[in-house]
Each structure stands twice: as structure tokens, then as C-alpha cells.
Structure 1
Amino acid sequence: MRIRLYKRDDLDDIMKLYYNAVHNINAQDYSDDELDVMAPQTADRYHWEASLAKNHTIVAEGDEGLLGFGNIGSTGFLDCLYVDVDHLHEGVAEAMLKHLENYAKAKGNHIINVYSPITAQAFFEKHGYALIEEAISEHKGVRILKYLMEKKF
């Protein structure tokens, strides 16, 4: 596995990985309606391009292609961290998280915040993140529970 910076031609693979990860991994904690709001079948390509370009975005790749992706803003907000469903529990998320945390520290951040889905809460706790509060967002009339978590350095 190698971690590298995002390139624009990664976009389609990232959008596909995100959709599959949300609809397969998070299915144990969210309803179909919630999953469809979190990761719609037809994604907003412009939104994805803008978000991936403005943040520090990385991808993890192996011999078989994209294994995961993640990004963090210059202020220490961890926006995305997703792993391909066929590569869970192989250290991909941990390696990307470490890279993103090191980037945030290098930018002078002493706190990293993330809105974690229910499914990833234990992962973030294992890596030193503390629960700050439950956060419920509403999109298209569907309420989605996530957890605001933070890690201090």
C-alpha cells in the first residue's frame, strides 16, 4: 500500500468507493433513507471536485487500485476517511489517519475535529478521539445522527 496526494483523475474512483462504503459499511447503523441522503446514487460531481481540491486529500492505493481516501482542512477538520469495503481491517484507515494527523500538526493545529458516523465512532475512540456531542443534521427531511469528536495534541 502507498499513500499519495489526490489527483483529479481519482475522482470517479473516489465517488464510487464512497458510495459503496456508505451503503455497505454504514448499513448496520443507518436506514436506507439515511444512507441514500448520505451517499446518493447520483453524486454532485462539482461538490466532490471542490471539496477534494480545497482540502489536503490523500488516497491509499494497492496493486488492485484505490483502497481508500481521506482529507483534512488546514484548520484541522477531518472531512473524509473511507476505505474500500474489501479492504477493511487491513490498516488502511489507520495509515491514512496518521498521515492526515501529521499534516494537521505541521499546519500548527493542536486539535482535530471530525463528525463521525455511528459506524466509525469506535475506530476514532481507539485512535484517541473523544466524543464531544451528538450531532443531528437534516437533509431532504431525513435526520442523520453523527458524533462530533476531537483529538488534542
Structure 2
Amino acid sequence: MKLRIYEIADTEEIIKLFYDTVHEVNIHDYTEEQVAAWAPANMDIDFWIKGLASKFTYVAEEQGQIIGFGELELNGHIDRFYCHKDFQRKGVGKKILEQLESKAKTLGIEKLFTEASITAKPFFESQNFIIVKQQEVERRGQKFINFVMEKSFGNCKLLNSKQ
């Protein structure tokens, strides 16, 4: 598996990965109506290009196939973060998150935060994110439960300064 920066040519494959993951993985925690609203059949590629290109977006690839992606914003927000339906629980998410954390540290960001789905919550908990709150959000007329989660990794020297 290799990690690299997003390129515009990746967009269609990323959209398909997103659609397939939501419809085949997240469906275990959400209803048909919710996943249809979350990942509709006809997504606007220009909207995706603009979104992916406006953030620090990293792509995980194996043998030329995109198997995951994650986006980091300048304020520490992890926006879209998805692993291919056939590559769940194989370390892909962990590698992408490590890259996002490394980039955040380079930028001087001391806290990451995200809105994790019910499905993604255990993954983020396993990576030392804590739940700030459960919330209900609306997408295309459907209401969803997700979790605001965060992870701080500020300057560790401050914590050890009394030693």
C-alpha cells in the first residue's frame, strides 16, 4: 500500500469508493433511505473535485487501485475519511490517519476533530479519539446520528516539563 496526495484524475474512483462504502458498509448502521441521502446515485463530480482539492487529501493505493482516502482541513477537521469496502480492518484507515496526523503536526495543528458515523466511531476510538458529543445531522431530508470526536496531540514537552 502506498499513500500519496490526491490528483484530479482520482475523483471518479474516489466517488465510487465513497458510494460503495456507504451503501455496503454503513448500511449495517443506517437505513436504506439514510444511505441513499448520504451517498446519492448521481453525485456532482465538480463539487467533489473542488472539495478534494481544497483540503489536504491523501489517497491510499494498492496495485493501482484506490483503497481509501482522507481529508484534512487547516483547522484540524478531518472531513471525508473512507476505506474501500473490500479493505476494511486491514490497516488502511490507520495509515491514512497517521499521514493526516503527521501533516497536522507539520502545520502546527494540535487537535484533530471529526464527525464520525456510527460505523466509524469504533475506529476513531481505537485511534485515541474521544467522543465530545453525539449529534443528529440532516442530509437531503434524512436525519443521521453521528459523533463529534477529537484527538489532541499538542506539545508533549509541556506535559513533561516538571520532570
**Structure 2 gap segments, 5+ residues each:** 154-163
Residue 93 of structure 2 aligns with which residue? 93
Residue 120 of structure 1 aligns with which residue? 120
Whether 1:50 aligns to 2:55 is: no
Distance (whole Å) between structure 1 residues aligned to residue 140 and residue 100 of structure 2: 31
Residue 27 of structure 2 aligns with which residue? 27
Residue 52 of structure 1 aligns to a residue in which SS?
helix
Distance (whole Å) between structure 1 residues aligned to residue 8 and residue 47 of structure 2: 13
Q: How many residues align?
A: 153
Q: What TM-score comes out, normalization by structure 1 length?
A: 0.97
Residue 136 of structure 2 aligns to a residue in which SS?
strand
Give the partner amino acid of 1:60.
Answer: A
Distance (whole Å) between structure 2 residues aligned to residue 138 and residue 96 of structure 1: 27
Instruction: Indicate conservation of the 8 Å contact 2:56/2:73, yes or no.
Output: yes
Q: State the Cα deviation string for residues 35-60 of structure 1 (Å, max 9, x = none).
A: 01111111122221111000000111
Distance (whole Å) between structure 2 residues aligned to residue 34 and residue 5 of structure 1: 30
Distance (whole Å) between structure 2 residues aligned to residue 141 and residue 6 of structure 1: 31
Deviation (angstroms), 1:139: 2.3
Residue 68 of structure 2 aligns with which residue? 68
Q: What TM-score comes out, normalization by structure 2 length?
A: 0.91
Instruction: Indicate conservation of the 8 Å contact 2:60/2:66, yes or no.
Output: yes
Deviation (angstroms), 1:105: 1.3
Q: What value does the CA root-mean-square deviation take over the aligned residues?
A: 0.9
| Identical columns (%) | 33
Residue 103 of structure 2 aligns with which residue? 103
Deviation (angstroms), 1:64: 5.0
Residue 36 of structure 1 aligns with which residue? 36
Please tell me whether Structure 1 or Structure 2 has the larger radius of gyration of its CA atoms.
2
Distance (whole Å) between structure 2 residues aligned to residue 134 and residue 101 of structure 1: 23
